[in-house]
């Protein structure tokens, strides 16, 4: 909202210039030949009022009176200047044309104008009024420029500069808003396209995995084991998609999770993996992971439990992995001799890597294999 017509405020808002700068420009143009007053009047008439806002702080009658005075002064200026006028008329014409187009860009119908302009200004009947105004504005800008150019041969370099300036301003007014809208529209379209592609990718993934698994589950209803295996495998895949795993490949956490996934698939048990901290694998840790995998397999095959918990923690100087089940358990001392699996593939492996294994088990009390490896 401004004082008289809100022209300064409106232009400041539109261009991003400070109000004071715009006002000073008008003042300078007024002192230098009266153009400022004429322009002010033009913009007052031509520029759109923002929706739901009164432009002026002055009461309506005062505003009308003021507008009348400005129009009279402008007419007077025109009358006195047209005869011998050099730059006044063409400049005014160009500004009028620019303002007409500007109004188009800022008005409520700019969306339609944009659509019309995007179809190369020529969509028949898209917005007849908008096209008319556009053509009229362009004509005025061109006319102004031509008039200036016509006089350029009789005047000096100054007129040439004016011509260039007026033409440039006219072109900027003509193309600027259109260009800005077009680029922002293109940006929005690109974002929309990316969103669409993401949706399509998720749909494809869901189709490939979830729907296939559901179909398989329906065909395997007679085998609870198979259903569990399918459901658990699918759950794992979805979790990876939804939550992602924090660790990258070649890390302890990822290796243990992969091992757990294999065991789940092969033996239709649930292996829950909790990892605190993470570290890149070296040979010793890879051996620890292989041993942990073997412990998971043993739990799945021999314990009778449906759930296996794996807990790994990376500390400053050690890495510990615990594999635990609540199954039938066994007497470690009694079976140690003939359980080559445990001796060779768990204990031997870890000890060669410089670590230790302790196994705790009791009949009926479940089993826990603890693997510790120095870092």
Partner 1 sequence: MTTVYLVDDHAMFRAGVRAELGARVEVVGEAATPAEAVAGILTTRPQVVLLDVHMPDGGGLAVLRGVGESLPATRFLVLSVSDAAQDVIALIRAGARGYVTKTISADELADAVERVAGGDVVFSPRLAGFVLDAFRDAPAAPPVAVPATDADFDRLTPREREVLRLLARGYAYKEIAAELFISVKTVETHASNVLRKLRLSSRHQLTRWAADRRIT
Which residues sit at the interface with partner 1, rule CB under 8 A?
Answer: 239, 242-243, 270, 272, 274-277, 309, 311, 313, 322, 324, 326, 368
Find the shortest distance in angstroms from Cβ 254 to partner 1.
15
- Cβ proximity to partner 1, 12 vs 273, nearer residue: 273
Find the shortest distance in angstroms from Cβ 219 to partner 1.
22
Outline where the chain has alpha helix (H).
7-15, 19-31, 35-46, 60-84, 88-106, 110-118, 128-152, 157-206, 212-219, 224-243, 252-267, 283-298, 332-335, 340, 349-352
Rounded to 10°, the helix 128-152/110-118 angle is 70
- Cβ proximity to partner 1, 215 vs 276, nearer residue: 276
The number of residues in the chain equals 375
374 forms beta bridges with: 318
Q: Measured between alpha carbons, how far is 35 from 137 in angstroms, rounded to an integer? A: 19
* Residue listed under structure tokens 């160009």: 94
- Helix or strand or coil: residue 247? coil
- For residue 288, give both structure tokens: 């620890």
- Cβ proximity to partner 1, 98 vs 253, nearer residue: 253
- Cβ proximity to partner 1, 18 vs 360, nearer residue: 360
Find the shortest distance in angstroms from Cβ 336 to partner 1.
23
- Cβ proximity to partner 1, 9 vs 323, nearer residue: 323
* Residue listed under structure tokens 């698939």: 265
Phi then psi for 75, rounded to 5 degrees? -60, -45
Find the shortest distance in angstroms from Cβ 311 to partner 1.
4
Find the shortest distance in angstroms from Cβ 264 to partner 1.
12
Find the shortest distance in angstroms from Cβ 293 to partner 1.
17
Answer whether 288's CB lies under 8 Å from 353's CB. yes
- Cβ proximity to partner 1, 39 vs 275, nearer residue: 275
């Amino acid at each position: 909202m401004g004082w008289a017509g809100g022209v300064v405020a409106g232009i400041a808002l539109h261009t991003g210039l400070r109000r004071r700068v715009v006002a000073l420009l008008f003042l300078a143009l007024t002192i230098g030949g009266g153009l400022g007053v004429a322009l002010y009047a033009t913009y007052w008439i031509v520029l759109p009022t923002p929706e739901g806002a009164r432009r002026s702080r002055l009461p309506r009658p005062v505003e009308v009176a003021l507008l009348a005075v400005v129009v009279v002064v402008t007419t007077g200026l025109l009358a006195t200047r047209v005869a011998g006028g050099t730059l006044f008329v063409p400049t005014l014409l160009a500004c009028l044309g620019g303002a007409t187009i500007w109004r188009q860009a800022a008005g409520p119908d700019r969306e339609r104008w944009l659509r019309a302009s995007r179809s190369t200004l020529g969509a028949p009947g898209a917005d007849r009024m908008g096209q008319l105004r556009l053509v009229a504005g362009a004509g005025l800008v061109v006319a102004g420029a031509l008039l200036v150019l016509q006089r350029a041969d009789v005047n000096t370099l100054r007129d040439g500069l004016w011509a260039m300036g007026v033409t440039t301003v006219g072109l900027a007014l003509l193309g600027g808003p259109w260009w800005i809208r077009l680029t922002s529209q293109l940006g929005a379209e690109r974002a929309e396209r990316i969103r669409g592609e993401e949706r399509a990718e998720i749909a494809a993934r869901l189709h490939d995995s979830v729907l296939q698994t559901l179909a398989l589950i329906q065909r395997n209803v007679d085998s609870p084991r198979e259903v569990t295996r399918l459901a658990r495998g699918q759950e794992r895949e979805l979790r990876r998609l939804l939550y992602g795993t924090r660790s990258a490949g070649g890390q302890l956490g990822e290796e243990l999770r992969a091992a757990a996934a294999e065991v789940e698939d092969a033996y239709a048990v649930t292996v829950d993996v909790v990892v605190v901290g993470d570290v890149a694998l070296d040979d010793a840790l890879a051996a620890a992971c292989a041993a942990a995998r073997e412990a998971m397999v043993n739990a799945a095959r021999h314990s009778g439990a449906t759930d296996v918990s794996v807990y790994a923690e990376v500390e400053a100087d050690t890495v510990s992995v615990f594999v635990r089940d609540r199954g039938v358990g066994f007497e470690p001392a009694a079976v140690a001799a003939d359980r080559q699996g445990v001796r060779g593939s768990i204990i031997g492996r870890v000890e060669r890597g410089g670590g230790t294994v302790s196994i705790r088990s009791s009949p009926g009390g479940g089993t826990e294999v603890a693997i510790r490896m120095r870092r």
